[in-house]
Amino acid sequence: MKRRDFSKQLVIAGGSVALSKYIPDSTESIINTNILPEALKPGDTVGIIAPASSFPPERIPKTEANMTALGLKVKWSKNLHAQNGYLAGKDKQRLKDIHKMFKDPEVKAIWCIRGGYGCLRLLPDLDYELIKENPKVLIGYSDVTALLNAIHQQTGLVCFHGPVGSSTFSDYTLSNVRRMLFEPLDQQTISLSSEQHKEVEPGFETYSIRNGKATGRLVGGNLSLLAAMTGTQHQIEVKNRLLFIEDVGEKPYRIDRMLTQLRQALPLEEAAGILLGVFADCQPGEKDRSLSLREALKDRLLDLKIPVAYGFSFGHITDQCTFPIGIEARMDTKRQLVEILEPVVKV
């Protein structure tokens, strides 16, 4: 295996050598001034893109029905149905669709039809200046985590971690989307879904790993993507942030591994607090010699000595809240809520 030159990170003292956490050169380009997209209104046109994996045909009518429920018109991207193995077309096709939707004055918001895999491949070639000059709502989750965080860090545009276009839009999901994208409120509160309390499936419980309140800018998304971004020029900034994390279909040892990667690459102890969503289907098998999900999370996060709570209403679940990335918020582990402390869209 070819070794990289880590000489810039070596600190030699007292005859011993310590390896500092890797910090990409481009962290200096992280933008700390937010750009708010315009609030949506009924009748606006939303552009639908597939920036990651391809999708089955039944997602088209479902996505159109979801947009209609919000009073929005739909504009499909040119390469929406392209395929390249497990990707929704070549990288250049998916990039072209993103850039075209940002540039199109008719399009007021850009909604990802699904996640899957592929967004990470696009980050080096995104036209961040074009996006910055044409700010508008961008929303999705799962693999879209890569787009949301990279675009916010490079441009300051507030992006939205919320349902993809073909998600099942429950009343809770719809209500959260409307409040975030359509109503330019100064402050708002995100509470747990009432339906979540009725769930009996493992992983839907709520509990605190370390109680407390914390305030900071929201950042985060899918754990697998956050881990994959570490060590690159697009790794997230966590200092003084409220970090929100979720994942799906990962055994506890894999959750452990990814959290360990984040701990060793990022100063997680300097985060303001950590919000854990619902980690659906992340329990060990009956015959696995394993920590439980709860034990693994506690083992990796308790000693950070910052507020950490599990079970907020986001993740690969039906009832999803919408988080505005880059916006100042306050978490309260005992009350199990997140307060958004400033406007997330503008009139």
Domain spans in the chain, listed from the N-terminal domain onward: 45-169, 188-340
**Class of the CATH-defined domain 188-340:** alpha beta
Position 199 scores a pLDDT of: 78
Would you call 76 exposed, middle or buried from its count of C-beta atoms within 10 A (0-12, 13-18, 19+)? middle
Please state, for a pLDDT cut of 90, what percent of the chain lies above it: 88
Mean pLDDT, range 199-212, rounded to an integer: 92
> What would the pLDDT profile of 16-67 be if each residue is shown by its tens digit?
333 344 445 444 456 779 999 999 999 999 999 999 999 999 999 999 999 9
Lowest mean pLDDT, pick from 18-22, 56-60, 250-254, 278-282? 18-22
Mean pLDDT, range 271-290, rounded to an integer: 96
Lowest mean pLDDT, pick from 26-40, 130-144, 284-298, 316-330? 26-40
Is the pLDDT assigned to residue 197 strictly greater than 80? Answer: no
Mapped onto helix, strand or coil, the DSSP state of residue 86 is: coil
Please state, for a pLDDT cut of 70, what percent of the chain lies above it: 91
Would you call 273 exposed, middle or buried from its count of C-beta atoms within 10 A (0-12, 13-18, 19+)? buried
Confidence (pTM): 0.91
Integer angstrom CA distances of residue 175 from 198, 244, 257, 319, 329: 19, 20, 35, 10, 19
Mean pLDDT, range 64-83, rounded to an integer: 97
Beta strand pairing call for 159-161 and 308-315:
unpaired
145: closest CA among 67, 218, 58?
A: 218
Is the pLDDT assigned to residue 322 strictly greater than 60? Answer: yes
> What would the pLDDT profile of 124-176 be if each residue is shown by its tens digit?
999 999 999 999 999 999 999 999 999 999 999 999 999 999 999 999 999 99
The DSSP output letter for 280 is B
Position 23 scores a pLDDT of: 47
| Number of other CB atoms surrounding residue 187 within 10 Å | 12
CA torsion sign for 142, 146, 147, 148 is positive
Beta-carbon-side half-sphere exposure of residue 156 (alpha carbons within 13 Å): 11
CATH topology of domain 45-169: Rossmann fold (3.40.50)
* Strand (E) or helix (H) holding 105: none
> What would the pLDDT profile of 98-110 be if each residue is shown by its tens digit?
999 999 999 999 9
What letter represents residue 150's amino acid? Answer: A
Query: Taking all residues of the chain, what is their mean pLDDT, rounded to a whole number?
Result: 92
Residues annotated as part of the active site: 142, 246, 316
**Same fold for the pair 45-169 and 188-340:** no
Report the distance separating Cα 48 and Cα 107, nearest Å: 10
| Number of other CB atoms surrounding residue 303 within 10 Å | 11
Report the distance separating Cα 314 and Cα 26, nearest Å: 30
